[in-house]
Structure 1
Amino acid sequence: MESLAYLARQPILDRDGKIFAYELLFRDSPTSDTAIIASDVLATAQVLENVLNNIGIQRLIGNNKAFVNCSRNMLLDNLFGLLNPKCFVLEVLEDVDVDEAVVKAIQRYKALGFEIALDDFIFNEDFIQRFKPLFPYVSYVKMDVVDNSLEDMTKAAGFFKVLDIKLLAEKVEDEATFKRCQDAGYDYFQGFFFAKPELVTGRKIDATSAAILQLILLLRSRPSLEDLCDNLNKNQDIATNLLRFVNSNTDTKHSKIETVKDAIVWVGMRNIQEWLMLMLYARPELGMTPQASPLFQNASHRAKFLETLAREMDPENDDFCAKAFMVGLLSRMDALVRAPLETILPDAPTDDEMQEALLNRTGRLGQLLQLADAVELDDSQAIQSIVTELSISAIQLKYSITESYSWAEN
């Protein structure tokens, strides 16, 4: 069976819910729980080679940091010596035996300017004693909310604060857990809790957002300039904002742009779509710019991931690809609007096929959405099952993930 190797990332957020970093994960052979690659050194080497040579660190993580896993062998082999210490945080795995050689390696990396993290820390006497020699050099300790009780999570916060070590809560998958860890004093949070806020029943999508979604769907179907102009002119608020946007660019000298058609020509259709997506996510209640919002990044990634896969599956079907993009984008609208999808979709540009995908994860679009869920949650068995059913190759999966991450980040 073909090996499905790919690079995944999981967001790490600060206390304000803004993106602070990503953990980079290399995955090989989702058919089993253990990787078939020869060694952990090779696994991390493949992550770094992928990031540095194939994708580019800036395209993958933007201006954020990247956490990468480090085993004992990696630390002693000086695998990270050529990396930029401003970009990478070295994450020491929980099964590392801390002896004099490991301490010296950590000291060397710290002297180079790297930050050090301890992964999957269990707050008990055994872990404390084992990793105590590294505490003077550690910047972050990652605590798994599943493997540690709330009482231990709270005790750990007090213990490590005294040592001036930041606490990071892992596997934070809902808003309630985020709030509990936040109250306990944690500094950073890893997981997709931002996509699962508390919802308000009865709240609906506003008219402007519905119009923006309709325009984005139109753009993904490759419309003519005339069609796009006609649709924008039907939404005067959006058209006015577009003209205001193009005339506010002080870096470019041009006469005042008076018409929507001239604005589209000047900006370009791709940039129009990106501007519309920023408008969609530019909500005061988020308390941040769309680019800093993990919800915006995640929704953008999902949209591009589904569209790229759809294009790989059915290259000539523009309608299917446009629907796939919109399904990915809409799959996070409940978190944006803080209302159930059932009350949002009637006012959104969706047909029966798209609604079935979003509500029930059925049909081809629903399967693509299931695959996006599985990649985010690092569910190897689900990934293998879905790609097999959809006849998606390892190369297509890897390409689609890489394209979506870099597209969303940029």
Structure 2
Amino acid sequence: MGYELRFGGSVDLGDPAMDAKATSALLVEAFGDIGLETLAGRHPAWVTIARNFLVEIGPPPVRPDRAVLQIKAYSAREDLLQILQKLARSGYTIALDEYDGSLIDNVEELMGLCSIVRVDVSAVSAEDLPRVLRVPKMQGAMLVATEVGDHAAFERCKALGFTYFQGEYFAQPRIFRHRGVATAGLGSLRRLSELTAGDISFEDLERIISSDIGLSLKLLRYVNSAFFALPRTVGSVREALAMLGVRTVRRWATVMVISSIPDVPDELVALGLRRAHMCEILAGSALPEERETLFTIGLFSVADALLNAPMADVLDSLPFTEEIQTALLRREGPKGELLAAVAAYERGEFPTLPTTDSSPSLAGAYRSALAWADEASRAVA
């Protein structure tokens, strides 16, 4: 439904006293210099707006249909209520953020202007949630559960009447009572095992892909898409291998298999692609083999959610080195620590990594991975 825009460092756009000029500079950079298409694609950007910004400057530099304006839940003075009324009449969608049921002045009037109420469900006990939701439900607000950590929390929130959900739950596996990979994913796992096995030869890779008609057709359609911009149409797996090389074809055949797993959300595949490319970029000037390993680690970091099984069970069936397994299972070792930093950055936690003058930044790598993964996802679909 949208992507939340978060700012790093010590900036808190939710602070009622946040300087309007600082807020303005950040929003102009986000919406102007970077651009909404890069940040949120076809979805609206959800952005927290400081009270002082609205009072002193007005609405942000973005069309009403391209943003959801988030206002932190605190007592609103009359000047802010008047501005919110004007924004609502102008077509802006306004969300009340971090609502926890605390008594605040003008809460009903404020909620009358906010069509969306966001609740951090990790900060409210399951027993207390019905009380917290009483007023928003009376006001007819759309409920958004944030910080949803797993599928159990997701099911609880859904039963309580939440409409939209934000958090780690969709990137976590739904663990069932039996161990092992669900039946629907076994064929995909076998194919992934073949594709990721050591130094695979040209002939072996051609045999593996050609023996799966669906995979062959999907791979050829992808290779001939605008993403690769090849000078001529590729008509066979052998021709693709000859033109692109074993490493490239194996990479994209693996992505094809992952994207074909039944009942997998598109956003989960996109998340794996973003992590994969971001890890690869942060490898810097490393050897191609090292970059390929980091791409694989990023891509398979969502394998447990893709296959709805514990990561240890998934890795039991894949011929990965101990280094890759350690990175994926425990986020240990240099590659595991890099993956942990990538995952933290995408959550808006803004970690730091050891850098040199020539090292790519996390921010730059994320922005590049965002654009690259969007393009790759469109071609994969």
If the TM-score is normalised by the length of the shorter chain, which range does it land in?
0.7 to 0.9
User: Which residue of structure 2 lines up, in the alignment, with residue 236 of structure 1?
Assistant: 210
What whole-Å deviation, never above 9, does each CA across 1:206-241 have from its counterpart, x for those lacking one? 3544534765899xx9x9xxx667513333344553
Given the superposition, is the C-alpha separation of residues 275 and 319 from structure 1 closer, same or farther in structure 2, using an over 3 Å criterion? closer
Provide the C-alpha distance between the structure 1 equivalents of 2:13 and 2:319, rounded to a whole number of angstroms.
42
Given the superposition, is the C-alpha separation of residues 63 and 215 from structure 1 closer, same or farther in structure 2, using an over 3 Å criterion? farther
Provide the C-alpha distance between the structure 1 equivalents of 2:336 and 2:320, rounded to a whole number of angstroms.
13
Provide the C-alpha distance between the structure 2 equivalents of 1:34 and 1:211, rounded to a whole number of angstroms.
47
Aligned equivalent of 1:179, options 139, 155, 168: 155
Provide the C-alpha distance between the structure 2 equivalents of 1:72 and 1:187, rounded to a whole number of angstroms.
27
Cα offset, 1:172, TM superposition:
1.0
Provide the C-alpha distance between the structure 2 equivalents of 1:407 and 1:217, rounded to a whole number of angstroms.
26
**Residue pair 1:242, 1:263 contacting (<8 A) in 2 also:** no
User: Which TM-score applies when normalising by structure 2?
Assistant: 0.80
When structure 1 is superposed on structure 2, of 317-326 and 277-286 the one drifting more is 277-286
Cα offset, 1:105, TM superposition:
1.1
The alignment partner of 1:86 has SS state of helix
From the two aligned structures, give the one with the greater strand fraction: 1
Given the superposition, is the C-alpha separation of residues 394 and 106 from structure 1 closer, same or farther in structure 2, using an over 3 Å criterion? farther
Given the superposition, is the C-alpha separation of residues 193 and 74 from structure 1 closer, same or farther in structure 2, using an over 3 Å criterion? same
Amino acid at match of 2:210: Q
Cα offset, 1:262, TM superposition:
4.2
Count of residue pairs brought into register by the alignment:
363
Provide the C-alpha distance between the structure 2 equivalents of 1:327 and 1:272, rounded to a whole number of angstroms.
15
Cα offset, 1:140, TM superposition:
0.5
Provide the C-alpha distance between the structure 2 equivalents of 1:248 and 1:26, rounded to a whole number of angstroms.
35
User: Which TM-score applies when normalising by structure 1?
Assistant: 0.75
Aligned equivalent of 2:27, options 43, 48, 53: 48
User: Which residue of structure 2 lines up, in the alignment, with residue 353 of structure 1?
Assistant: 323
User: Which residue of structure 2 lines up, in the alignment, with residue 305 of structure 1?
Assistant: 278
* Identity within the alignment, %: 26
Cα offset, 1:79, TM superposition:
4.9
**Residue pair 2:209, 2:216 contacting (<8 A) in 1 also:** no
Does 2:41 correspond to 1:62?
yes
Aligned equivalent of 2:114, options 129, 132, 138: 138
Larger RCO, structure (CA 8 Å, separation 6 or more): 1
Amino acid at match of 2:5: L
**Residue pair 1:243, 1:259 contacting (<8 A) in 2 also:** no
Aligned equivalent of 1:317, options 269, 272, 287: 287
Cα offset, 1:202, TM superposition:
3.3
**Residue pair 2:219, 2:256 contacting (<8 A) in 1 also:** no
Gaps of 5+ in 2: 227-231, 376-381
Cα offset, 1:365, TM superposition:
0.4
Does 2:376 correspond to 1:398?
no
The alignment partner of 2:148 has SS state of coil
Cα offset, 1:83, TM superposition:
0.5
Does 2:87 correspond to 1:106?
no
Does 2:5 correspond to 1:28?
no
1:97-176 mapped onto 2 (5 Å cutoff):
97-124=75-102, 126-127=103-104, 129-176=105-152
User: Which residue of structure 2 lines up, in the alignment, with residue 331 of structure 1?
Assistant: 301
Provide the C-alpha distance between the structure 1 equivalents of 2:13 and 2:94, rounded to a whole number of angstroms.
25
Provide the C-alpha distance between the structure 2 equivalents of 1:213 and 1:407, rounded to a whole number of angstroms.
26
**Residue pair 1:116, 1:139 contacting (<8 A) in 2 also:** yes
What whole-Å deviation, never above 9, does each CA across 1:45-89 have from its counterpart, x for those lacking one? 354334334433122222222110111111113353430211100
